[in-house]
Amino acid sequence: QQLKPEQTPERGMWSSRFGFLMAAVGSAVGLGNLWKFPYLAGENGGGAFVLVYVGLVVILGFTLMLAELSIGRHTNSDAYGAYSKLKKGWGFVGGFGILAGFLILSYYSVVGGWVLKYIVASVTGVGADKGAYFTNFITSSVEPVIYHLIFMGLTAIIVIRGISGGIEKAVKIVMPALFIMLMVIVLRSVTLEGASEGLKYYLTPNFSEITLKVFIAALGQVFFSLSLGMGCMVTYGSYLSKQEDLEKDALLIPSLDSLVAIMAGFAILPAVFAFGFAPGEGPGLMFITLPAVFESMPLGTVFSLIFFILVFFAAISSSISLMEVTVAFGIDRLKWSRKVSVLVFTTVMFIIGIGASLSMGAWSDFLIPWIDGNSYGIFDFLDVVTSYYLLPLGGLLSAIFIGFVWGVPNAVKEIKTGGNFRTEKLWSVLIKYIVPILVFVILLSTTGLLDR
């Protein structure tokens, strides 16, 4: 394949269209779908959350995905460089994103470590009290940190191997396999005795439950789940060829991501009700519920093992994209080699992650005050600040950037190099007016400043 002038071996490039798609889907589909989406739905009224979430994906997902891909491909740069190349002084938009990715990976890797632990636990068993097993594990001081180290280390190894060598190869097999496995679990879950309560909870939106809080949670989740608002898709787009049909990609990636999230809800929420767990259980929901589902299946141990291995791969294909955002910054801006870049950033993220892990137990009294008037432990702080503030802010700024700085016509031109652009008019209005206003309003209410 011909390299564009800006493509250097240090940067790398996708070797095929399928490889890119799988990597982008691999970035999107991760713990956000399997771990976070079901528990957020469980905490925010079930069907009410699903409805708002899907609504926001339709409006924001496609629009911002296309925005980021077009900026990335046009500039062939890391997130910071992309914005500053197009307009001096705007690099900070990418800078915010890089910071967000950095903070997300610090705690994402901790949860990735939990998944590794549950691969092991699939074989050793979790005992009768699934909740106690989970809580004992995450509140302990040493074991989760070791798993976090392993997860971070594996991420680093793949990213060192570069774009087509590492990232692409890993995700091509995993994504389809995950999909099939999820189907099997959904079938088991929805046929459990007592599952219908959960199905009802998940599928019938109770309109009185659609509150501002649901919008806030759903907005943050849309960004997190679609890997938007932090330049991840800018970075991935920068490795794309001019022939790529960005419009198609921007429709496909959010659709697949949402499909997997909704399937994860089907896998988990009916089982929550069937086994008498609480839907508002929080971050432990997947880890507590699914072992109970597997116990009720023939060959449950095998299924559990395969499933958690697949979750691990989904998580790592997301974590490599998170790391790639930071690493691309190190390569392009700081002129570090890929290796140095990976090693330096990995070390710092690992250390922050130790804090996140300990905040579940030993350090749970250490709270950080935040502008919304609440105080959070380290893990929650990283989650809240990134999902509810940095990512929406990044999305807002990228929309304003295209609408009013780089200019919609320039973006349209870039998108059109890969083929027809059927939704040009619609997209132009969405990116310039609807998306910024919508995100701004929700972001403002997130701060809580309006209620004071």
Q: Given the rule CB under 6 A, which residues bind ligand PFF?
A: 27-28, 30-33, 101, 104, 224-225, 227, 230, 232, 318, 321-322
155 forms part of the interface with Na ion (CB under 5 A): no
Which of ligand PFF, Na ion, none interacts with 221 (beta carbon under 5 to 8 A by kind)?
A: none
The distance of closest approach from Cβ of residue 260 to ligand PFF in the complex, given in angstroms and rounded to an integer, is 9
How far apart (Å, rounded) are the C-alpha atoms in residues 92 and 125? 48
The distance of closest approach from Cβ of residue 32 to Na ion in the complex, given in angstroms and rounded to an integer, is 4
Which of Na ion, ligand PFF, none interacts with 353 (beta carbon under 5 to 8 A by kind)?
A: none
The distance of closest approach from Cβ of residue 61 to Na ion in the complex, given in angstroms and rounded to an integer, is 11
**Residue whose pair of structure tokens reads 């699914």 in the numeric block:** 290
The distance of closest approach from Cβ of residue 295 to ligand PFF in the complex, given in angstroms and rounded to an integer, is 26
Question: How far is CA 185 from each of CA 25, 126, 265, 395, rounded to the nearest angstrom?
Answer: 21, 19, 11, 34
Cβ neighbours for 394, distance < 8 A, ≥ 6 positions apart:
93, 96, 97, 100, 223, 228, 229, 230, 231
Nearest partner of 212 among 398, 47, 446, judged by Cα: 446
Which of ligand PFF, Na ion, none interacts with 235 (beta carbon under 5 to 8 A by kind)?
A: none
Q: Using CB positions, name the residue nearest to Na ion.
A: 225
The distance of closest approach from Cβ of residue 258 to Na ion in the complex, given in angstroms and rounded to an integer, is 9
* Options 27, 33, 258, 346; binder of Na ion; rule CB under 5 A: 33
Residues in 239-258 at the binding interface with Na ion, rule: CB under 5 A: 257
Which of ligand PFF, Na ion, none interacts with 230 (beta carbon under 5 to 8 A by kind)?
A: ligand PFF
* Options 32, 279, 291, 395; binder of Na ion; rule CB under 5 A: 32
Nearer to ligand PFF, 117 or 432 (CB): 117
Count of C-beta atoms within a 10 Å radius of residue 300? 16
- Identify the H or E element spanning 50: helix 47-56
- Amino acid code (one letter) for 15: S
376 phi/psi in degrees, rounded to 5: -130, 150
Nearer to Na ion, 244 or 257 (CB): 257
The distance of closest approach from Cβ of residue 214 to ligand PFF in the complex, given in angstroms and rounded to an integer, is 19
317 forms part of the interface with Na ion (CB under 5 A): no
The distance of closest approach from Cβ of residue 14 to ligand PFF in the complex, given in angstroms and rounded to an integer, is 17
Bin 21: left if φ > 0, else alpha if -120 < ψ < 50, else beta: alpha
The distance of closest approach from Cβ of residue 221 to Na ion in the complex, given in angstroms and rounded to an integer, is 9
Nearer to ligand PFF, 195 or 228 (CB): 228
The distance of closest approach from Cβ of residue 347 to ligand PFF in the complex, given in angstroms and rounded to an integer, is 20
Question: How far is CA 423 from each of CA 22, 57, 87, 293, 435, rounded to the nearest angstrom?
Answer: 24, 16, 26, 43, 15
Which of Na ion, ligand PFF, none interacts with 64 (beta carbon under 5 to 8 A by kind)?
A: none
Nearer to ligand PFF, 84 or 155 (CB): 155
Which of ligand PFF, Na ion, none interacts with 27 (beta carbon under 5 to 8 A by kind)?
A: ligand PFF
Nearest partner of 409 among 393, 394, 431, judged by Cα: 431
Which of Na ion, ligand PFF, none interacts with 232 (beta carbon under 5 to 8 A by kind)?
A: ligand PFF
**Residue whose pair of structure tokens reads 């269209």 in the numeric block:** 17
Cβ neighbours for 65, distance < 8 A, ≥ 6 positions apart:
226, 228, 233, 249, 250, 253, 254
How far apart (Å, rounded) are the C-alpha atoms in residues 330 and 307? 35
User: With contact defined as beta carbons under 8 Å apart, do 128 and 375 qualify?
Assistant: no
- What share of residues in the chain are helix, strand, coil (percent, to 5)? 75, 0, 25
How far apart (Å, rounded) are the C-alpha atoms in residues 392 and 10? 31
Q: Using CB positions, name the residue nearest to ligand PFF.
A: 32
* Options 70, 221, 225, 326; binder of Na ion; rule CB under 5 A: 225
Q: Which positions lie near Na ion, rule CB under 5 A?
A: 28, 32-33, 225, 257
